[in-house]
Structures are given as structure tokens and as C-alpha cells.
Amino acid sequence: MTDTLYSFRRCPYAMRARLALACAAQPVELREIVLRDKPPAFLAASPSATVPCLVTSEQVLDESLDIMTWALRRNDPEQWLQMPKSGWDWIARADGPFKRALDRTKYASRYPSEDAAVQRQQAALFLADLDQQIDTWIFARATIADYAILPFVRQFAFIDKLWFDQQPWPHLQAWLERFLISDRFEGIMKKYPQWQQGDPATTFP
């Protein structure tokens, strides 16, 4: 059985799953999902009905960080998993308070009781801390922390890129820019047609 990844190109959670699968050279059948038109096979596979969802012969992984660690435990040529324990704390902060503030900034109309400006400032506090941590990478070299967090910083930056670029975060901005122009980012952002039952298999990476 070929492992199957249900994905959505622009979803930051799906991006980081694809980043780890590509780094680990773990081939999967990629099925591009349109979130407003979820196919029955995907809904049957994913307990949460969200992407990414990795289906293997042994299990279903429905969380992006689990998919990342699954791939890297199979093959970790760049030693992404070899990082200080504080790297997991950075990921937890990004996935928790930062993502919460990001959503309430980007999708302000969904949260009418929240002040989007206040939420942007909450997100900015995390980014200012991260800027102080980064030299070239969060640690001395790239780890899973960088590639788990970068897709969400990208999402936040493009809410208002002019504002983002004007903030006093030179290390963070350079870190993001290197990611955006990298072959690695280009490689995981190829466009695929919406998957339909019966389509020929698309292999990724």
C-alpha cells in the first residue's frame, strides 16, 4: 500500500507536512483537496476532516507535527530532530498563542468580539521574541522548529506585508525571505489539480 497524503497547497499545516516528507525523501501519493468540496474518501480517512492527513498501512496521522516527526524518524538526513529541547517550546508557542492571534488578525470577521489590532500586537510579541532568537536559524542550523514555524510566519506576514516589512525584526525578516526564495519552498508549492476518485496517482516529492 502506498502511503497517501491528503493536502491543500496553501494550508500552512499541510506545507510543513510536505516540507518534512520532502526532506526525508518519503514518497507518498499526494491528493490535493479543495476544502469547500471534500471528497468522501478524505472524510472517511480523516477523523477531523482537516488537512494534512497521512494514511499509511498501519495508521492515520491527522496532525501535521505528527506527520513531520513520522517522516523524520524514518529518515532525517539533515538532522532536523536533533535540536535543543527549547525548540519544541518554540513550536508550542507558535501553534498555540501565536496561531490564535494570527487567526484573529487574518480572519477578523470571524471573531467580531475580538479587536484585530490587539490580536496583531499579541502576534507581534511572539515574533519579536523569535527575532531575538534567530541568527541565521532559530538555533545554529535548521531544525524541525524552523520548518514547523515558517509557514505560519509566512501566513502572518502576508496579511499586511508592507506593515510586516516595516517592523524592527531584521533577523526574522531575513529568515522568512530565505525560505520564500528557496528551492525547498518552491518544491513543496507546486500546483496540483483537485483530486477526484479514480485519478492517476500523483507522487510527492
**Is residue 1 over pLDDT 80?**
no
Average pLDDT, whole number, for the chain? 97
Could you tell me what percent of the chain has a pLDDT over 90?
Answer: 98
Closest CA to 83 of 127, 155, 32, 148: 148
- Over residues 86-103, the pLDDT tens digits come to 999 999 999 999 999 999
Mean pLDDT score, 131-143: 98
Mean pLDDT score, 61-81: 98
- Please provide residue 13's backbone torsions phi and psi, each rounded to the nearest 5 degrees: -65, -45
CB 201, CB 45: distance < 8 Å: no
Q: How far apart are the first and last CA of the chain?
A: 17
Q: What stretches of the chain show up as alpha helix (H) in DSSP?
A: 12-23, 40-45, 64-74, 86-93, 99-106, 116-133, 144-157, 161-165, 170-180, 183-188
Give the CA radius of gyration of the chain.
17
Note if the pTM is more than 0.85.
yes
Q: Pick 4-79+186-204's CATH classification: 3.50.50.60, 3.40.50.740, 3.40.30.10, 1.10.10.60.
A: 3.40.30.10
Mean pLDDT score, 138-144: 98
Region(s) of the chain under CATH 1.20.1050.10: 86-182
Q: What is the DSSP string of 10-32?
A: T-HHHHHHHHHHHHTT--EEEEE
Res 56: pLDDT? 96
Mean pLDDT score, 153-160: 98
Write out the three cell numbers for 68: 513531520
Mean pLDDT score, 171-175: 98
pLDDT band at 2 (very low <50, low <70, confident <90, very high): confident
Write out the three cell numbers for 78: 539533515
Domain 86-182 fold is Glutathione S-transferase Yfyf (Class Pi); Chain A, domain 2 (1.20.1050)
Res 62: pLDDT? 95
Write out the three cell numbers for 176: 522568512
